[in-house]
Amino acid sequence: MSRIGKKPVAIPSGVTPTISGQTVKVKGPKGELSFTLPENVKVEMGDDGISVAPVDNSRTARAMWGMSRTQVANLVEGVTKGFSHILEIQGVGYRAAMKGKALQLTVGYSHDVAHPIPDGVKVEVSGAKQEIITVSGIDKQVVGQIAAEIRSYRPPEPYQGKGIRYQGEYIFRKEGKKK
């Protein structure tokens, strides 16, 4: 039994969910999101919130149960609070800047890297040396994907620690060559 899947998703005030077939739409103060659940689970609205249950006791239905409940919970959290990732740039001369609808990164290449920002995602650059990037939005998957793509331009290297990292991420440092 899925411990996560058993719990219903609580609906806070100001959020209106709509269930039609396998599609769940949630509208809140920050926007509107929708998710289509797999056929192996059923979703229904109750007094205590949205509950998700497996259709039968098959292995795939039980595997999709907790994931589907978490996806619905992410919809509700996204339209109420939103999600954000904070990235830090470390390295001499490394910095970021917003140029229109694109994030321009100077991270040690012979050219600047321009990363386009899609609609629904907000990117801010702050810090004394333009080294803090905040990616925020209402869709958890899109926010995480954009943050991962920005990090992939210059992941932190283990010898000097230069690169783009998530805030609070620990980088295992290696010792260099010895004579």
Q: Which amino acid is at 171?
A: I
Strand boundaries in 9-131, DSSP class E: 16-20, 23-28, 31-36, 41-46, 49-54, 83-90, 95-99, 102-106, 113-116, 121-126
Q: Which residues pair with 123 in a beta bridge?
A: 135
Instruction: Kindly report, as residue ranges, where domains of CATH 3.90.930.12 are found in the chain.
Output: 3-80, 83-166
pTM of the model: 0.89
Q: Which residue has the tokens 């990292």?
A: 165
* Percent above pLDDT 90 for the chain: 88
pLDDT, tens only, 28-77: 999 999 999 999 999 999 889 999 999 999 999 998 999 999 999 999 99
Instruction: Determine the CATH number of domain 83-166.
Output: 3.90.930.12
Per CATH, which fold does 3-80 belong to?
Answer: Outer Surface Protein A; domain 3 (3.90.930)
Which of 29, 8, 7, 33 has its CA nearest to residue 18? 33
**What angle in degrees, to the nearest 10, is found between the helix axes of 140-152 and 59-80?**
90
